[in-house]
Structure 1
């Protein structure tokens, strides 16, 4: 019997994992609902705008009025497309951030549990096994460093993407 993992500890880990999974499922459904509502509202607005724009174009009396009208109708359509893309991006980013938080928490818990188990095993290990435990600790430190580096790079990429979206939005709106 493994003295480092009691049935109570296993039950606690299982319960925490289940709660994390249910929480993620709930927030994922919430984001899916928001995205569906956004898509329906955008579709409705596009249909209404399309009908109104078609009526306005058909009511144009001469080619100059038609050209002027097309130019006037284009800007609101571009603004709405940018707003839609921004909203979709925000929903996706929230989902990514939520998953990252849960993943980071689970990694931290796993590292803590592994460190504790490693320390307990080292206390009862036979003489001469110090090198094995040193190697395990070094590997764990290297893995943590690699994860931290990847996490920082991912956060920087996200920040750059957000800055690019903001700049593109500002450029399209002409502000």
Structure 2
């Protein structure tokens, strides 16, 4: 079995550092998008509050005031749904990018470990076949377990996304129906 040279070790560390910074940049990009969305939402909410206050103060009687208030509820629900969808889209896109990068890095690490195990098996002393077989078996079991968990996680995310979309549609439909009855 050959040990990595200092150059190989340094190259591996550099590659790992690049992956870390790449993932960190993706996380910061997502956070910046969320911050921008929050600023836009706050600006719009402030402007809308100002408009509503002026409209409410211009009501001539209590019925007019309450009619205006009822009219404000529908757009607020729609804006909340729109905000929730935007947050979900940003978080989902960021998570997908990070997951893709992490999966690529993990696949590369698995290949490196597999190569190390194969190299160790070729250079193992006589009589160590059972130990080498146990190591290979453990590596294969760990890889299979990871793939199973990864698949289950992806399925759970798909179900959650589907449920989120269904809930959004239901709330949007109920909101439109409430608007029509007002």
The normalised TM-score by structure 2 is: 0.88
The corresponding residue for 2:43 is 44
Aligned length: 174
Report the equivalent of 1:63: 62
| 1:15-164 → structure 2 map (5 Å cutoff) | 15-164=14-163
Q: Could you tell me which runs of 5 or more consecutive residues in structure 1 were left unpaired when the two chains were aligned.
A: none
Per-residue deviation, 1:102: 2.1
C-alpha displacement of 1:118: 1.1
Q: Which runs of 5+ in 2 are unaligned?
A: 177-182
Per the TM alignment, residue 160 of structure 1 is displaced from its structure 2 partner at its CA by 1.5
Q: Distance in 1 between matches of 2:61 and 2:167?
A: 35
SS in 1 for 2:124: coil
1:83-117 CA distance string (max 9 Å, x none) = 11111111111222122122212221121111111
My pick for the range that moved more, 88-97 or 40-49, is 88-97
Separation of aligned partners in 2, 1:163 and 1:89: 12
Alpha-carbon offset, residue 150 of structure 1: 1.1
**Aligned-residue CA RMSD (Å):** 1.6
Shift of 1:123: 1.3
Q: Please, what TM-score do these two structures have when normalized by structure 1?
A: 0.91
Shift of 1:155: 1.0
Distance 1:97 1:35 in 2: 16
With a CA cutoff of 8 Å and minimum separation of 6, indicate the structure with the bigger relative contact order.
2
User: Which aligned segments of 4 or more residues in structure 1 are displaced greater than 3 angstroms?
Assistant: none
